[in-house]
Amino acid sequence: MTIYNFYLFDKNGTLLYYAEWFRVKQSGMTREEEGKLMYGMLFSLKTFVTRISPMDVKEGFLYYKTSKYVLNYFETPTGLKFVLNTDIVSPNNRDILQQIYSQIYVEYVVKNPLCSMNEAIESELFKTKLDEFIKRTPIYSVRSV
Q: Would you tell me how many other CB atoms lie within 10 Å of the CB of residue 91?
A: 11
Closest by CA position to 133, among listed 25, 31, 19, 23: 19
Q: What is the dihedral of CA 33, 110, 126, 75, to 10 degrees?
A: -50
Q: How far is the CB of 67 from other proteins (least distance, A)?
A: 27
CB-nearer residue toward other proteins: 60 or 87: 60
Please check whether residue 9 is in contact with residue 18, taking contact to mean a CB–CB distance below 8 angstroms. Answer: no
CB-nearer residue toward other proteins: 4 or 101: 101
CB-nearer residue toward other proteins: 29 or 88: 29
Please check whether residue 145 is in contact with residue 21, taking contact to mean a CB–CB distance below 8 angstroms. Answer: no
Return residues touching other proteins (CB under 8 A): 11-13, 36, 39-40, 43, 58-59, 76-80, 98-99, 101-103, 105-106, 110-111, 117
Q: How far is the CB of 11 from other proteins (least distance, A)?
A: 6
- 123: which residues sit within 8 A by CB, 6+ positions away? 108, 109, 112, 114, 115
CB-nearer residue toward other proteins: 99 or 141: 99
Q: How far is the CB of 51 from other proteins (least distance, A)?
A: 14
Q: How far is the CB of 13 from other proteins (least distance, A)?
A: 5
